[in-house]
Amino acid sequence: MHRFFKQQKLKKDMTVNIDGEDFLHLKNSLRIKAGESIEISDGLMNTYLATICVLKKDSCEALVNEKIENSNEPDCKITLYPALLKGDRFENMIQKCIEGGVYSIKPVITSNTIVEIANKNKDRKVDRWLRVSKLACMQCKRDILVNIEEPMKLTDAVQKLMNDKNKPYKSFVCYEAEKKDSIKKLLDKAVKESIRNINIFIGPEGGFSEKEISYLTENGIHPVHMGRRILRADTAAYSAVFYTAMRYEL
């Protein structure tokens, strides 16, 4: 059954209107007819079954039925801090990480970041990322809409994290030169300590500089490795998110 998002308060027996891109997707791609069922989520962990009751030219109405009690969210909140990547790789990374269970994405700019986004284009770029996020959340039936923030410098992101009131948390950076500590070792400790807020830092194509790794380490963000092989940045991001989510679901 297909899932749609309406960012409004939902309750049983109310009627919601579906229009815009969601309606076009429902009508042209899914070819859903009146009387068929869909799922509607408010993006805040509240998801309901609904029935299409009226089909119009540019929109449709759906009657909200019973609430779906089972959640598709992982048992931890994963915040990803990925460096910007070239071309479509960043959008593909967003999609795969949402499928893997990421809770929030906060892009960072590092010393080796190649991508440059002009200030005048930032809003448009973030809007596009949010659209990718919404489609991915619909496809994999998330109970939340994964938020993606405007890119910020690595140092600014770390300072904001240090001021975060949402503690306790564990933070790690995937670093290919790390030989001792693994992602498994860190997450085993986090699970044992019942820590459910995990922050993951992923570098760009050229990786983090040694100076940046030192800075991250000094601020409590632990370097970890994910095995013997060197992963591309987008692969590392998805692998780290997926492994983290699965570790809490085992």
- Residue 217: the pLDDT is 97
Please write the tens of the pLDDT for every residue from 206-231.
899 999 999 999 999 999 999 988 89
> Phi and psi at residue 109, in whole multiples of 5°?
-110, 125
Please write the tens of the pLDDT for every residue from 75-102.
999 999 999 998 899 999 999 999 999 9
- Residue 249: the pLDDT is 83
Q: Domain 77-249: which topology?
A: Alpha/beta knot (3.40.1280)
Q: How many helices (H) and strands (E) does the chain have?
A: 7, 13
- Residue 250: the pLDDT is 65
- Same CATH fold, 77-249 and 3-68? no
Q: Map out the domains of the chain as residue ranges.
A: 3-68, 77-249
13 burial type by CB count under 10 A (0-12 exposed, 13-18 middle, 19+ buried): exposed
Question: Residue ranges of the alpha helices (H) in 61-208?
Answer: 89-100, 119-139, 154-162, 183-192
SS3 10: coil
Please write the tens of the pLDDT for every residue from 21-34.
999 999 999 999 99
SS3 79: strand
Position 37 pLDDT exceeds 90: yes
Average pLDDT over residues 51-69: 95
Average pLDDT over residues 63-68: 96
In which residue are the tokens 């009387």 written?
Answer: 35
Average pLDDT over residues 241-250: 92
Please write the tens of the pLDDT for every residue from 128-179.
999 999 999 999 999 999 999 999 999 999 999 998 876 799 999 999 999 9
- Residue 218: the pLDDT is 97
- Residue 25: the pLDDT is 93
Average pLDDT over residues 176-192: 95
pTM, two decimals, is: 0.93
Q: Which CATH class is domain 3-68?
A: mainly beta
